[in-house]
Amino acid sequence: MLLSSLRAFTSRGPSMASRTFSTTTAAHAAAEVKSLGVVGAGQMGLGIALVAAQKAQVPVTLIDNSQASLDKGLKFADKLLEKDVSKERITREAADAARGRIVSSLKMDDLSSVDFVIEAVPEIPDLKTSIFSQLAQIAPKHAILATNTSSISITKIAAATSTDPKDLQAPSRVVSTHFMNPVPVQKGVEIISGLQTSKDTLDTAIEFVQRMGKSPSTSADAPGFLANRILMPYLNEAVICLETGVGGREDIDSIMKNGTNVPMGPLTLADFIGLDTCLAIMNVLHQETGDSKYRPSGLLKRMVDAGWLGKKSGKGFYDY
């Protein structure tokens, strides 16, 4: 589905266009990923866990510090699986098998034997760095430590796994696997390397998300990465058009849907993402680049101040 001081670092590997992902080494390493840990049982974390259990068919340990969040997430997983069965997308046996691969826990220590961990908690820098500091101590020394962040520097997160700058082992295993929302539907995943990320880590991450049925794209560790660097100014400009009276909300959304064949208009999409999330990302882009083209709309700021955050609060540019 975002605040941090980001730094623009050069990607450790070649671009997506020049990379061959199906190398023997990377494929073998990805095949050795026989278990997954997911930290965070919200919409993103649950989606990642469910897709891994269904597509990659690996056992998943879902971690959260709230039993209520775990219960809510697993109930949502049951609902999604039931929907797939009712629409004959999967069989009852396949749904039961996928659900059976997901176990939940309140204890981070239960990640002590997984091969791959994906963190999917809110975009709070101190929270993420704290989690990665723990993961470096708890997870096996071969495990890939991935974050689902959409804006926080991967290099900064990787640095939290070691107190010694000369210790390259733990930071080299950190990478970003930024899944698009909703995870069960969207195929895209941004793979972002930090300055410390090793090529083996990058290749294994790419191969593993492909096992999950996703289409990876690589990005440098720069403010907004690729998806948000392109998407958020587009959404922000739509808000500015509304704010300045260039067009009404229905006209803005209609022209983009019917003129560019996108599935939903920018104001609707902003509501679904969350206006607070959009504002936070725009603030990061503006602060880190110093470029005025990323300055967030005044209307966007006021709507967040009003608590009108979009679909999750029941009111945004539209009522829900």
Sequence ranges of the binding site for NAD(+): 40-45, 64, 123, 128, 150, 181, 312
Count Cα neighbours of 10 within 13 Å in the Cβ-side half-sphere. Answer: 3
| Run of H or E including 270 | helix 266-273
Beta strands 60-63; 36-39: pairing state: parallel
What's the CA gap between 21 and 298, in Å, rounded? 43
Choosing from 119, 151, 153, 178, the catalytic residue is: 178
The answer to whether 209 touches 176, Cβ cutoff 8 Å, is: no
Beta strands 174-179; 144-147: pairing state: parallel
Choosing from 4, 11, 148, 190, the catalytic residue is: 190
Residue 250 has a CB neighbour count (10 Å cut-off) of: 13
Which is it for the CA torsion 207, 166, 2, 77, positive or negative?
positive
Choosing from 35, 104, 148, 150, the catalytic residue is: 150
CA proximity to 196, closest of 160, 153, 158, 147? 158
Choosing from 151, 219, 228, 297, the catalytic residue is: 228
The answer to whether 102 touches 71, Cβ cutoff 8 Å, is: no
- 130 noted as active-site residue: no
- 32 noted as active-site residue: no
Residue list, annotated binding site: 40-45, 64, 123, 128, 150, 181, 312
The answer to whether 171 touches 158, Cβ cutoff 8 Å, is: yes
Q: Which CA distances in Å does 163 have to 126, 167, 259, 315?
A: 15, 8, 52, 44
Single-letter residue type at 231: L
DSSP 3-state assignment of 263? coil
DSSP 3-state assignment of 199? helix
- 228 noted as active-site residue: yes
Residues assigned a catalytic role: 150, 178, 190, 228
